[in-house]
Amino acid sequence: MKREDRLDDVRSFERVITLNENTRLNLIVSDIIEDLKVEGQVERKASDTEGDTDPVLVDVSYSLKLDWKVSAVSLSSSVKYNDKGDTYDDLNFSTKVDWKGDLVNVSGEYQFTKVYSEEIEENRKLNLKFSMKF
């Protein structure tokens, strides 16, 4: 069986080219102070469709994370800021502290989110836990 396609049969042709770019930079520093780990990250995402009137979409996020453990206490914190260009920006912060004893465990976690757009939204959450072994 032989198949032949002819250019004469094509009535219309449309080509859409979309360009996407992702760039990420990570920096990790650990054990400058015993059991301390600091991690930073910058990430950029961009996309554009050739020939459309919309501008290039560019999102940039910046984050910092800290983990530290000293004997029975551990601390973990992170903050991340997302720049969504013309649409909105948001900020996320969380921290968690744990203390583990022989009979008692105590932990606390705090989360904060703020969205910057035409209307600013804020959300906060606090969790406290206490457990005891008998």
User: Could you list the residue range(s) of the whole structural domain that residue 85 is in?
Assistant: 15-132
pLDDT digits 0-9 by tens, 15-62: 778 888 999 999 999 878 888 999 999 999 988 888 777 777 889 999
Is 118 a domain residue? yes
- The pLDDT score that the predictor gives to residue 47 is 87
Is 3 a domain residue? no
C-alpha span between 91 and 121 (Å, rounded) = 10
Is 10 a domain residue? no
pLDDT digits 0-9 by tens, 56-102: 788 999 999 999 998 889 999 999 999 987 778 999 999 999 999 88
C-alpha span between 69 and 32 (Å, rounded) = 13
- The pLDDT score that the predictor gives to residue 70 is 87
C-alpha span between 76 and 68 (Å, rounded) = 6
Question: What are residue 37's phi and psi, to 5 degrees?
Answer: -130, 125
Is 95 a domain residue? yes
Assess contact for 5 and 13: CB atoms under 8 A. Answer: no
Q: How many domains does the chain have?
A: 1
pTM, full prediction: 0.72
C-alpha span between 114 and 94 (Å, rounded) = 12
Is 6 a domain residue? no
pLDDT digits 0-9 by tens, 102-129: 899 999 999 999 998 888 899 999 999 9
